Structure 1
Amino acid sequence: MGGDMIVLENEALSLGVAPLGAEMQYLRTTGGGDLLWHGDSAFWSGRSPVLFPIVGRAVDDTIAVGEHSAPMSQHGFARRSYFDLVEASEDMCRHRLSETAESRVVYPFAFALDVTHRIAKNTLHVSAKVTNNSATPMPFGFGFHPAFNWPLPQAESLPHFVTLASGGTPRRAALHDGLLQRDTVAGPFADGDLEIAEELFVDGALVFPNGADTLRYGPRNGPALKFEFNNLPDLALWRPKGAPFLCIEPWHGTASYVGDGPQIAQRPNSITLGAGEVAEFGYSVTVRV
């Protein structure tokens, strides 16, 4: 297992993708500005993990499918699994994770998870396709967990904002030990606008069920990133104390509710694919410098 990191380059961006987790390792402008968090374990060793077959924590870190149950840590096993390189060119690469004997012990399905990274001019496109190759229905959750530098390059002295294109004020699901409270509370957005500040994250991630929307991250004037999402209705924002990055996480599915059971199919916004069915997800980031 293993393999070399794939490097994609064009006139505006360069991108590195590793086979472990099909995880982005860097995203840079041609001017040398690093946009992606570099994974310093003093704060968080991740950079941009792929979350499958669950998003967030399970009650007692245990999942179940029918009568089958097994331990599963937060965000599932894909982020710690080696993917095979299926296709690559100067501006695109596609990695695939398939079931193994070890994965079937915890998640009893034949599946394929294809993750594609592509750069086109000043836009990064990331997409995923989940295929159920089993003869029985397959429940799962899926998400992306990219971390972007805070502040952005060439905007070090400027306040940064997350601004929703709709101007909405999505409600937030409070967390208790990594699990969601069932009742939502008022969120911190005001007319779609949220200034990123240390005190926002004292209780952990901000989770907005069905709150994903086209958004902009960056200062009012200056470098910024525009995000668009496909089939990823849930949104989370996360920043550990003192960390120089912000995670902007689009999901289809969330952590379990406090007090719920272990069944994956019963987790919030879980998906169940029939035999041979496919689900697709994606997001794009357009860089404005």
Structure 2
Amino acid sequence: MQLTRIGNEHLSVEISPMGAEMQSIVTSDGQSWLWDGDAAFWSGRSPVLFPIVGKAPNDHVSIEGHRYPMGQHGFARRSEFELVASGPDHCLFELQSSQSSWSIFPFDFSLVLEHRLDGRSVVVTAEVMNTDHRPMPFGIGFHPAFVWPLPGCEGQEHRVTLDNGGEPDLIRLSGGLVRPEPLPSPFSKGELVLDHELFVADAMLFPEGAGAGLRYAAGSKAIRFTWENLPNLALWSKAGAPFICLEPWHGTAAAIDGSDALAERPYGEVLGPGATGRYSFRAEFVG
């Protein structure tokens, strides 16, 4: 598929219509900051998660008493978006409900993804509009993967530091579903030294208390990462893989032994008829 390229004096970003997913982020010095999607580890790069985040029990959700198939993280990331507007430093892609989406998510909706450059930052915004006549439950999240180690920082200690200095409880997954019992936080006064062993047991979820910003850094290089209207945070990598995903969400996977009802998923969102929800993250590249 033909990629859309946006750029300014600091950054060059490419976006695919498939999933409206970023394919590269390159600074003016030629350094790449986004994971390259090597399928030997994980073929994703920066998918948007909609209309669920995480897994559903037996890969099905119930909506108004009917069961529908729903794969992990929903269908938007595997859907072709339409480019509806673009300029030198921004572009908008839209996914609208269709015959194929109605068979698994029986609502009329519009999902618009905007990528915009602001100095040394890329800002990604999702707008979800309920164009149906009844309330629409869903989850939404972002899943950008950044290189680990950061450019030029091979062999150096990498840290994630929460802006709020918090020590949020850790939640783990089992078979892709949320274990209900919280575990001690891996953060100490807001700081976490990254180690691949942290991800042997899959993603680390922080449903509450992580705040709305963090710094992922090593040496003189850093990504200043902030998000809006996304109350949950996850960190994920595959053990030994050269990337780290910084994932702000509105919604998580279903709980073990929990309901498969879409409206009852933890931290989910519900929009009334005609309402619009707006969710975003900003990544600033330093060094």
TM-score past 0.5 threshold: yes
CA distance in 2: counterparts of 1:165 and 1:109, whole angstroms? 37
Q: 1:206 aligns with which of 198, 201, 204?
A: 204
**After the TM superposition, which residues 116-265 of structure 1 pair with which residues of structure 2 at under 5 Å, given as runs?**
116-210=114-208, 211-219=210-218, 221-265=219-263
User: Which residue of 2 is the match for residue 26 of structure 1?
Assistant: 24
Verify: 1:277 aligned to 2:275, yes or no.
Answer: yes
Distance, in Å, in 2 between the alignment partners of 1:71 and 1:109 is: 14
For 1:66, which of 54, 64, 67 is the aligned residue?
Answer: 64
Letter in 1 for 2:42: W
Cα offset, 1:262, TM superposition: 1.2
2: CA distance, partners of 1:12 / 1:39? 23
Cα deviation for residue 212 of structure 1 reads 4.0
* Residue 213 of structure 1, CA deviation: 2.9
Task: Report % sequence identity.
Answer: 45
Displacement of 1:174? 1.8
Equivalent position SS for 2:25: strand
5+ residue gaps, structure 2: none
| Mapped partners of 2:177, 2:57: distance in 1 | 7
User: How far is 1:172 from its partner?
Assistant: 1.1
Which secondary structure does the structure 1 equivalent of 2:103 belong to? Answer: helix
Separation in 2, partners of 1:119, 1:44 = 26
Aligned residue in 1 for 2:14: 16
Give the secondary-structure state (helix, strand or coil) at the position aligned to 2:77.
helix
The residue that corresponds to 1:286 in the other structure is 284
Q: Deviations over 1:87-123 (max 9, x none)?
A: 1000000000001101100100000000000011101
User: Distance between the aligned counterparts of 2:211 and 2:129, measured in 1?
Assistant: 24
**Whole-angstrom CA distance in 2 between matches of 1:104 and 1:83:** 16
- Alpha-carbon RMSD: 0.8
- Aligned partners of 1:81, 1:286: CA distance in 2, in Å? 28
- Give the letter aligned to residue 214 of structure 1: G
Q: Following TM superposition, by how much is the alpha carbon of 1:264 offset from its aligned partner in structure 2, in angstroms?
A: 0.8
Q: Which runs of 4+ in 1 moved over 4 A?
A: none
| Distance of 2:182 and 2:264 partners within structure 1 | 18
Distance of 1:260 and 1:101 partners within structure 2: 30
Q: Deviations over 1:220-243 (max 9, x none)?
A: x31100011100110000110210
Letter in 2 for 1:62: H
